[in-house]
Amino acid sequence: MYSLIYITTSESSESKKIAKILLEERLVACTNIIPQINSLYLWKGEIEEDNESVLIAKTKKDKVDQVIKRVEEVHSYETPCILELEVKKGSEGYLQWMEDELN
C-alpha cells in the first residue's frame, strides 16, 4: 500500500528541487536527501564514477507511476535511477499520517 522511491541525482540541490515539486504536487508525503554518495556504474559499456545525491520519497503505492513520470520530466539525467521499494510494514501512526497528507 506504501512505497519508497529511491532516486539518484547530480547533486543535493537537484534532489531538493525534485523533492519540492513532488511535495507541492502532493505526490509524496515526505522526502529524505542524502547529500553525497560516490557512485560507480556502467554507462554505455564503460565504468563511470561520479558524486551524486540520493532522494528517498515516501508515498502511497497508487501514486508511484505519477511520481516516476514527474521525476523523469524534471530530472537532469538522460536515464535517471528511479526505483520503487515496497513498504510491507510500518508504524501505524506514521502510515496514517502519510495517508492523511496524501488524500
Which residues lie across from 82 on neighbouring strands?
A: 7
Measured CA to CA, the distance from residue 74 to residue 7 in angstroms comes to 12
Residue 46 maps to which CATH number? Answer: 3.30.70.120
* pTM of the full structure: 0.94
Q: Which structural domain range is residue 27 located in?
A: 2-102
Per-residue pLDDT, 3: 98
* Percentage of residues in the chain having pLDDT higher than 90: 99
Edge-to-edge strands, sheet with 46-60: 30-43, 46-60, 2-9, 82-87
Instruction: Yes or no: say if 18 and 91 are a contact pair by the CB < 8 Å rule.
Output: no
Condensed to tens digits (0 to 9), the pLDDT of residues 56-79 reads 999 999 999 999 999 999 999 999
Count of domains forming the chain: 1
